[in-house]
Amino acid sequence: MTSTQQKIQPVEGLAKHSDEELAARAKAMESILVEKGIIGTDAIDYMSSVYENEVGPQLGAQVVAKAWTDPEFKARLLADATEACKELGFSGMQGEEMTALENTPDVHHLVVCTLCSCYPWPVLGLPPNWYKYPAYRARAVRDPRGVMKEFGLDLPESVEVRVWDSSAELRYFVLPMRPEGTEGWTEEQLAGLVTRDSMIGVGDVRHPEG
């Protein structure tokens, strides 16, 4: 496979196509299950609502915002992310053992799962398609700066990049740096700046003026 074929941007293009295919397959399977009486539409609607509104990166954004405004919580988060997230009510399957990695002006963290798609569901929801693709899993280790550039994050050479391999035993997420110009902001306002990609490490938080 050439380097061009392995770029993340083309992979994201494929991910969009795959999303459409997966949606069609899921709809077909849903119809079959409902028709055979294996599951009801009310159960499907409930689970869809949970993953759309209650489980997702918006929960991780709340964790980050809390850490940005509460030094004591931040210390607990970095010492034991699993227990600290439980304080906010975020725990469960695929989040039994989590570790938060703090970005600093000198060190930037990036998370990958080289074997499959291990991911901290309680704070980030379900993993995006590109996170599961071989191109990302391989290139994130070999060329993390190149991967981040394709997501729009171009770090200075002076910043050390550390790549962390999530597993079934331990799942990582990133605590990004609080952006300048947010002094006096509420946790809710700050959470609105935190992106899923910034908690994986491939992207950054939104600019306060954006």
Q: Which residues are designated catalytic?
A: 113, 116-118
Give CA–CA dist 202/30, Å, rounded: 34
Q: Which residues pair with 164 in a beta bridge?
A: 111
Assigned token pair, 76: 């607990």
Handedness of CA 117, 165, 57, 12 (dihedral sign): negative
Q: State which amino acid sits at residue 168.
A: A
Residue 91 is given by DSSP the state -
Q: Is 63 exposed, middle or buried (0-12, 13-18, 19+ CB in 10 A)?
A: buried
Answer yes or no: are the C-beta atoms of 171 and 120 closer than 8 Å. yes
Distance CA(49)–CA(151), nearest Å, equals: 29
- State the Cα–Cα distance between residues 18 and 158, nearest whole angstrom: 37
Cα 1 versus chain centre, distance: 27
